[in-house]
Amino acid sequence: MAQVRHVDEYRQHHFSAQDHGFWRAPPGVGTTIPADWRIDGMPEVAFASALAPLRALGPRVWTVYQDESKFIDRILANLTGPGGGRWFRTGHDEQVGGRAVVLLRRRRDVRFTAFRSFVHGVLGPALDRAPGTVELRTHAFLPYTKAVWWTPGVAHDNPPQRRYHAAIVLGAADRGALDAIIASPEVTATQDAQAANCLALHAYAVDNTYTVVRDGRSLL
């Protein structure tokens, strides 16, 4: 297996086209995925250090750009800063038969630091305590900029009202176990905090996850 410099892990999550919008949110928080803004998938990249995203750029990235421009219509890339991603449970070597990605939209009157504390310090730990969780990663995004990943020939428009500010990757033994985690007392106890911090929590079931790089080595 070839070593991939500066990248610790790279995964692609391919979302279900039908199974989504199942998060149990409190009143006033959106859960339904808009038909005109349904997302097909999400890459998840863990860099080896804070400067690794810059060091990883180079001639190879243009090959990726050219490949992406052949089959992708729109790319909306988000970065986390140092400490912006937490791996409560990596999911490595676990039998993850059901996986979901939950995309969170922050309320406009909630500050970035407070929202990040909610994601990592309230909702994340609640999901971690819920019986059945075998994989859990939380990501709080930096402010969006299309310059993060500038693939030519594809759309990068991301209207403010459509933007997400965090993502949670949640894994369990099967799809039923995912529903049980979301409905657990540990998670429902955070509903007041969800309402105070979130405009929307959009949950997508993941049909397939492809791990391209793990522990800095290519699996292809």
* Residue-wise pLDDT tens digits, 155-176: 666 778 889 999 999 999 999 9
Report the CATH number that the domain containing residue 92 is assigned in CATH. 3.30.70.100
| Residue 109 domain flag | yes
- Residue pair 137/87 in contact (Cβ under 8 Å)? The answer is yes
| Residue 50 domain flag | yes
- Residue pair 138/124 in contact (Cβ under 8 Å)? The answer is yes
Give me the domain span that covers residue 77. 7-218
Question: Number of structural domains, the chain?
Answer: 1
- Residue pair 124/168 in contact (Cβ under 8 Å)? The answer is yes
| Residue 2 domain flag | no
The whole-angstrom separation of Cα 123 and Cα 73 is: 32
Q: How far from the centroid of its chain's Cα atoms is residue 207's Cα?
A: 15
Digit-coded pLDDT (tens) for 28-62: 999 999 988 888 888 887 776 655 555 555 555 55
Q: What is the DSSP string of 15-28?
A: EEEEEE----PPTT
Number of H helices, E strands in the chain: 7, 8
Supply the mean pLDDT for the chain. 85
State which residues of the chain have pLDDT below 70: 1-6, 48-76, 145-157, 220
